[in-house]
Chains A and B, each alone.
Chain A
Amino acid sequence: MNPEELHSLAEERREALDQFQHRVVVCTGTACQAAQSRKIIEALDGIVKERGINGRCTVSAGGCRGLCSAGPMVAVEPTDVLYQGVTPDDAASIIDSLESEPVKALTCDTSAPFFTRQKRVVLEYEGRLNPESIDDYIAAGGFSTFVRILTEMTSGDVIEQIRQSGLGGRGGAGYSTALKWSTVAKALGTTKYVICNGDEGDPGAFMDRSVMEDYPFKVLEGMMIAAFAVGAQEGFVYVRAEYPLAVKRLKQAIRQAEKYSLLGNNICGTSFSLKLDVRLGAGAFVCGEETALIASIEGKRGSPRPRPPYPAESGLWGCPTLINNVETYANVVPILREGAEWFAGIGTERSKGTKVFALSGAIVNTGLIEVPMGISLREIIYDIGGGIPNGRRFKAVQTGGPSGGCIPEQYLDMPVDYQSLAQVGSIMGSGGMIVMDESSCMVDVAKFFMEFCMTESCGKCIPCRVGTAQMYRLLDKISQGRARLQDLEVLEELCDMVKHTSLCGLGQAAPNPVLSTLRYFREEYLAHIVDHVCPAGVCKIAHEEIAL
């Protein structure tokens, strides 16, 4: 395929779509599917046929609209009407109102802050595209950036654009993407790999899942551009097996791209060749760590190894390897399409662009949101999220999953960027954001995350293997009201040691939920230990003799 062919294909497809006066797009994200959105598609299809308007109206599956708590969502194009809480029984009224006023009772107010306060770069298509159709993606301008780069730019140009954009790795740490790319580009060796880390394992995070499920082509295009920039000929998308839909759609997307010769040998008649494939995880959180992920792709136990050497130098099968997270790759196309300057204009001085968050917990609007870096937690929670339901009080917001921390009310006006979050003892992480109200016990939350880290520790290094188990035991003892003050001292000592001596990020960050809750909610620990009560009423306090 050359640029002209791609262009005409896009035109063709756009015309084909324009034939339809009405396009009804039903969200098939996980939440909406759980709410029977497949049945809604069937019902809508049935009505369309019944009314004999299938020449004018098309019903298709689309991606996530973000507002999962109001699902299932149905959108009507081009009038841009959005319906919420739709049931199969609503199909007739939706179809019958296409020519007139929208169905009032089902209309979702898209002028609400949930929609207007977001900034969509990664989720730019807002779920409108059929994720299983490369034609739809191409019609929306997809792959034109890749093809243009391939035929007009050099590897150095691409990396320079990424550098100017200020893009940081969206896997959590915000490490400069351009620096990573240029390291791999400069690394010696003719065989190089690109890997997309889709092993989203944080409990409470589903951003990457949505991106992979809804925009598989966009992720692939980002990887293709990256492969071109670093000089890789082969790549893998490593997806956790718990995401079967993402696996299916990515595999489908790769096959479709191969069919159009966007993947394969001598793409666009250039010397650039690329083969992409999907590899499945098998249920191990630690495989989100890049060296463990590589071991897993090599068919081994997912145990991390000490770095350096970094994968950029010696990664998959010992070759220079670029590993980026799903969301990072999904930012690549917009940056190179709209320009680095445009991207750098979004966000803050040191954290550029947007961040996708999975908003959940004690909050009115749960779902998937994308916001500019630097927005305050308060705006996210109260404006976009609609605040805390059931008249309860906000207590803390957890970011960064088992590697992050709980942020209390006093920091609600803090801007959300890599630096600020780190300052208050949490991390950006991959984007899980769980809001907790006063019914959550912070000791219990810390225990929950420690149990997670303990069972997900690979067991290779002593501090993480044993330390997480010991911290878990102590937290369990505290939560039961059976601990002594000395136990708290030992807990803090363990936190310090595990943080500074563990081999990989899992262990190094495992103490964070404990440290942050100790920092802001120490009185809750003391209540369990000294007064033998759980203020939130969550923990079961044991009344047997203490210390035994």
Chain B
Amino acid sequence: MTRKTIATVWLDGCSGCHMSFLDIDHRLLDLADMIELVYSPLVDRKDFPESVDITLIEGSVSNQADLDKIRHIRAHTRTLISLGDCAVTGNVPALRNTIGAEPVLQRAYMEPDLLNAQIPTVGVPPLLPVVRAVHTVVRVDVFIPGCPPSADTIFNALSDLLNDRQPSVAGKTRFGA
């Protein structure tokens, strides 16, 4: 059996979904035989591979780098999974959507009484005007809501995919779970 290539990506999130992924614990070993983790914050690789079977996306699309990244990833991924509420709904990062990017930057960097107050622009990507859920930017194949989704949910969904079944998370997780 050929192993499926898997990638995991952080966009704008708290990494909690990755923690939950690791919470799969010993079952990771079961998965290990079936997958090859080709790209992830957990492995040391700079470029996204040419072709990946399954990519798990954590986090929302909040800045220009997120946007560039997700478009590239979509083009090189067979099955794209929105993992967790930030990717699925925008969640906490999207709280700023009611206010707008600029006022948030002003509040964070300019209003506090700081020495040389300035909004950072060098070496950081510019914020998008609106924080987006992943599926509003690129096509998404599987949604796993939750904040974070439980390890069981992630494991089951992955197992389904590895066995060429369409995963069903209905009733197993929810927004905010």
Contact = CB atoms under 8 A, between A and B. Distances in A.
Determine whether A and B are in direct contact in the complex, meaning some CB atoms lie less than 8 angstroms apart. Answer: yes
Interface in B126-144: 128-130, 132, 136-137
B67 interface: yes
Q: Give the interface size class of chain B.
A: under 10
Interface residues of A, number: 2
Nearest to A547: B137
A16 interface: no
Contacts of A547: 136-137
Given A548-B67, A548-B130, 6 more contacts: A547-B136, A547-B137, A548-B128, A548-B129, A548-B132, A548-B137
A290 to B, nearest CB: 38
A547 B71 CA distance: 12
Interface of A: 547-548
A490 to B, nearest CB: 11
Contacts of B130: 548
8 contacts: A547-B136, A547-B137, A548-B67, A548-B128, A548-B129, A548-B130, A548-B132, A548-B137
A6 to B, nearest CB: 67
Contacts of B128: 548
Nearest to B138: A547
A548 B67 CA distance: 10
Nearest to A548: B128
Interface of B: 67, 128-130, 132, 136-137
A3 to B, nearest CB: 70
B170 to A, nearest CB: 20
A484 to B, nearest CB: 10
Contacts of B136: 547
B118 to A, nearest CB: 25
B125 to A, nearest CB: 14
Nearest to A486: B139
A487 to B, nearest CB: 10
Contacts of A548: 67, 128-130, 132, 137
A420 B137 CA distance: 43
A548 B128 CA distance: 8
Contacts of B129: 548
B143 to A, nearest CB: 16
Nearest to B139: A486
A385 B67 CA distance: 54
Contacts of B132: 548
A77 B60 CA distance: 77
Nearest to A545: B67
Contacts of B67: 548
Nearest to B61: A548
B100 to A, nearest CB: 14
B156 to A, nearest CB: 29
A548 B126 CA distance: 14
A5 B4 CA distance: 99
B71 to A, nearest CB: 10
B109 to A, nearest CB: 23
Nearest to B128: A548
A392 B128 CA distance: 44
The 8 A-B residue pairs with the shortest CB-CB distance in the complex, in nearest-first order: A547-B137, A548-B128, A548-B130, A548-B129, A548-B67, A548-B132, A547-B136, A548-B137
Nearest to B136: A547
A547 B61 CA distance: 12
B158 to A, nearest CB: 27
A548 B130 CA distance: 8
Nearest to B129: A548
B129 to A, nearest CB: 7
A547 B67 CA distance: 11
A78 to B, nearest CB: 70
A109 to B, nearest CB: 60
B77 to A, nearest CB: 18
A548 B61 CA distance: 11
B157 to A, nearest CB: 24
Contacts of B137: 547-548
A482 to B, nearest CB: 13
A548 B136 CA distance: 9
B119 to A, nearest CB: 20
A412 B129 CA distance: 47
B68 to A, nearest CB: 11
A518 to B, nearest CB: 22
B168 to A, nearest CB: 22
A219 B132 CA distance: 56
A190 to B, nearest CB: 55
B53 to A, nearest CB: 24
B46 to A, nearest CB: 26
A362 to B, nearest CB: 38
A323 B67 CA distance: 56
A547 B128 CA distance: 12
Nearest to B67: A548
A548 B129 CA distance: 8
A547 B129 CA distance: 12
A454 B137 CA distance: 26
A547 B137 CA distance: 7
A474 to B, nearest CB: 12
A547 B139 CA distance: 12
A236 to B, nearest CB: 43
